[in-house]
């Protein structure tokens, strides 16, 4: 256990007023466990989903749950794997553990977890690289989204590894770098001590030495959120406007029922930032009839943020349609690290495919050690391990 103060339990405020998260996970869990993805300095778990017939070169969507939630439950309620079935992208779900945070919040404010190549941020980056290497996913189409503490952590990843992501989706999240302690975290969540646009820009620019191009960002916020003040969504928009060199005034404003959408476009007329405010919505992920199921912090407001974010990213236009008869050829490392949904590592065996000659399957602990070495060698080559 890391030496976080006992006061960390105060972050239970992120639970809102709907109680703890629950789902019948025996039936709802569609995810498999990623067992080998590097040094994992943030001590996170990793879950994933690959729809049947996924093609090489498919996009990867990284989804970060909120406090008191877990990966399987968030997937069940948000509908991301349902959308992946229809469209053909891979899903990665980093998952928090109680040993790191008693309320299962990602540590979005802790300096040891929010800096490039450190802690939870590096763990998530290692998971992403492992998925890309094992499944020949498209590096130019990697996306990340999250709710609440997961939304804040999604912003951490966009800030610290902007070269990795094409775009992000931040739901009830927090601006990067505004909190480094628990009191600062609560102050930020409540919208106290506002920062100037210049201060927000500086925080983001200090996160990496990246010079662009920058990820596109979709921001979502409930106007009646009692947990994360709506001013945080404004700060996130200001932070990303700065690096995109956009004016503070939106290019256009649209109203769609209870949803107000402000859009900022670049010089080429492309939408690079959108800020969606849902009137009278509390703390949670907006859901509609298209995908997912309502539950704690998963709010049926007639708007599917899952669908809308994927549309903003441009991955639901049929570019990655599924081929039911196609089964990707995977190496031994891929088979071991990414077994089919519902199977465990010890249940999957296979010979190495590709240019190397076939060799006998390895069983037990020796097999897992071999798989881990293959993955770790690849991560070292990518500069993500020493």
Catalytic residues: 148
Tell me how far apart the terminal alpha carbons of the chain are, to the nearest angstrom: 23
Q: How many residues in total does the chain contain?
A: 386
Token pair belonging to 319: 């570019």
Q: At what angle do helices 80-87 and 71-78 cross, to 10 degrees?
A: 60
CB-side neighbour CA atoms (13 Å) of 294: 9
| Residue 113 DSSP code | G
**Cβ-count burial of 117 within 10 angstroms (0-12 exposed, 13-18 middle, 19+ buried)?**
middle
Q: What H or E segment, with its residue span, contains residue 277?
A: strand 271-278
Phi, psi of 197 (to 5 degrees): -60, -35
Phi, psi of 259 (to 5 degrees): -105, 125
259-265 and 271-278 beta bridge pairing: antiparallel
**Cβ-count burial of 292 within 10 angstroms (0-12 exposed, 13-18 middle, 19+ buried)?**
buried
Q: At what angle do helices 197-205 and 231-244 cross, to 10 degrees?
A: 60
**Cβ-count burial of 60 within 10 angstroms (0-12 exposed, 13-18 middle, 19+ buried)?**
buried
Cβ-contact 42, 56 below 8 angstroms = no
**At which residue do the structure tokens 């077994």 appear?**
339
Q: What H or E segment, with its residue span, contains residue 169?
A: strand 167-171
Distance CA 248, CA 245 (A): 9
90-95 and 45-49 beta bridge pairing: antiparallel
Cβ-contact 208, 157 below 8 angstroms = no
Instruction: Report helix, strand or coil for 3.
Output: coil
């Amino acid at each position: 256990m890391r030496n976080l103060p006992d006061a960390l339990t105060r972050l239970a405020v992120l639970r809102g007023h709907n109680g703890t998260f629950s789902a019948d996970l025996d039936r709802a869990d569609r995810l498999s466990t990623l067992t080998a993805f590097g040094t994992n300095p943030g001590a996170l778990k990793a879950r994933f989903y690959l729809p049947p017939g996924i093609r090489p070169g498919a996009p990867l969507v990284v989804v970060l749950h909120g406090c008191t939630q877990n990966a399987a439950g968030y997937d069940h309620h948000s509908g991301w794997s349902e959308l992946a079935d229809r469209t053909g992208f891979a899903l990665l779900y980093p998952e928090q553990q109680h040993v790191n945070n008693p309320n299962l919040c990602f540590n979005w404010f802790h300096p040891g977890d929010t800096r490039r190549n450190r802690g939870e941020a590096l763990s998530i980056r290692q998971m992403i690289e492992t998925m890309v290497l094992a499944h020949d996913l498209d590096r130019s189409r990697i996306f990340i989204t999250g709710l609440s503490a997961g939304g804040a952590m999604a912003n951490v990843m966009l800030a610290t590894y902007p070269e990795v992501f094409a775009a992000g989706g931040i739901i009830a999240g927090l601006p990067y770098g505004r909190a480094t302690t628990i009191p600062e975290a609560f102050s930020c969540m409540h919208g106290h001590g506002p920062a100037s646009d210049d201060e927000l820009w500086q925080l983001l620019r200090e996160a990496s030495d990246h010079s662009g191009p920058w990820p596109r960002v979709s921001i979502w916020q409930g106007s009646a959120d009692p947990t994360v003040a709506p001013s945080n969504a404004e700060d996130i928009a200001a932070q990303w406007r700065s690096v995109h060199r956009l004016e503070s005034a939106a290019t256009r404003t649209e109203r769609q029922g209870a949803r107000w959408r402000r859009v900022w476009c670049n010089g080429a007329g492309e939408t690079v930032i959108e800020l969606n405010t849902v009137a009278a919505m509390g703390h949670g992920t907006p859901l509609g009839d298209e995908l997912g199921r309502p539950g704690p912090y998963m709010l049926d407001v007639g708007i599917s943020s899952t669908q809308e974010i994927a549309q903003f990213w441009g991955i639901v236009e049929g570019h990655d349609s599924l081929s039911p008869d196609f089964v990707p050829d995977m190496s031994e490392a891929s088979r071991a690290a990414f077994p089919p949904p519902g199977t465990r590592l010890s249940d999957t065996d296979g010979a190495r495919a590709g240019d190397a000659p076939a060799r006998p399957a390895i069983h037990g602990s020796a097999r897992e050690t071999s798989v881990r070495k293959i993955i770790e060698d690849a991560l070292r080559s990518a500069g993500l391990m020493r």
